[in-house]
Amino acid sequence: MIWKRRRRERHGAIVCHMGKADTYRLSDEKAVRMMIALREGRTLRTFGVRPARLQTNFTDHPEFAREARPLMEANTKAAHLRKGAYLREKSHCVNGHSLAEFGRVAMHKGWMTRQCRACEVMRYRRGGIMKPAVLEQVRARIAAGSPPNRFTKPGAGYLLRFDTFARYRRENPEFNRLVIEARESRVYRTP
Ligand SMILES: [Zn+2]
């Protein structure tokens, strides 16, 4: 129904589909409540006043418009500045690191974000998830007697980060045994 009203307004004559001009007008009581809210610094959307109704009141009561308009503008500006205050004022990250010490503000996927360098180090040390294709190659290299540092150190033969390899060992005891056995057979191999 709202879009119908708006279209009629655009065509000049304000025709109310309810047949009563009062439909567009705020009640005096609501106008008073609105002024109180505006003086408290609130914005229109927080007390549910539609701009179309407000416009009628402004036209009928210019003195009301004179006081309300600048307040609306100022409150909107202030509300805009308050946006993101929750994140801006955070002192610690979700894992309890001090953001004064480890915090960084950076653009991420088009948004300004707060990042935690201590969490990054934590995530790095925890290691990533090994892809099945990489696991296959790793198993082949271990079976061929290659020590892990041959494929976890950057350079020729590199397959994956050491932390990712270590994490897979921690989480898969069967694989871990395989790595240990391979090392033992290398160390105790008779010439
Ligand atoms: Zn953190």
Task: Give residue 160 CA to ligand 1 midpoint distance, Å.
Answer: 25
Percent pLDDT > 70 in the chain is: 86
Do 145 and 181 have their domain in common? Answer: yes
Q: Give the distance (Å) from ligand 1 centre to CA of residue 115.
A: 8
Same domain, 108 and 169: no
Q: How far is the CA of 90 from the centre of ligand 1 (A)?
A: 12
Whether 72 and 49 map to the same domain: the answer is yes
pLDDT score, position 53:
76
Ligand 1 center from residue 110 Cα (angstroms)? 21
Whole-angstrom Cα distance, residue 117 to residue 102?
A: 5
Query: Are residue 117 and residue 169 in the same domain, yes or no?
Result: no
For 52, the 3-state DSSP assignment is helix
Shared domain check, 175 and 131: yes
DSSP 83: T
pLDDT at 23: 56
- Ranges of residues in the chain with a pLDDT under 70 are 1-24, 189-191
Domain stop point among 57, 82, 107? 82
Question: Pick from 49, 82, 115: which residue ends a domain?
Answer: 82
User: What's the number of domains the chain is made of?
Assistant: 3
Q: Which pLDDT score, from 0 to 100, does residue 117 have?
A: 96
Distance from residue 48's CA to the centre of ligand 1 (Å):
39
What's residue 82's pLDDT? 86
Verify that 177 and 154 share a domain, yes or no.
yes
Range of the domain at 158: 127-187
- Say yes or no: 98 and 55 in one domain: no
Amino acid 2: pLDDT: 47
135 and 164 co-located in one domain:
yes
Is residue 78 domain-shared with residue 8, that is, in the same domain?
A: yes
On whether both 106 and 48 belong to a single domain, the answer is no
What pLDDT score does 11 carry?
46
Ligand 1 centre from 130 Cα, in Å? 24
For residue 153, give both structure tokens: 């150190």
pLDDT value for 12: 45
| Same domain (yes/no): 92, 40 | no
Distance 124 CA to ligand 1 centre (A): 12
The Cα 93–Cα 116 span in angstroms is: 7
Q: Is 49 helix (H, G, I), strand (E, B) or coil?
A: coil
| pLDDT in the model for residue 128 | 92
Task: Mark the residues whose beta carbon lies below 5 A from ion ligand 1.
Answer: 93, 95, 97, 116, 118-119
Cα(125) to centroid(ligand 1), Å: 13
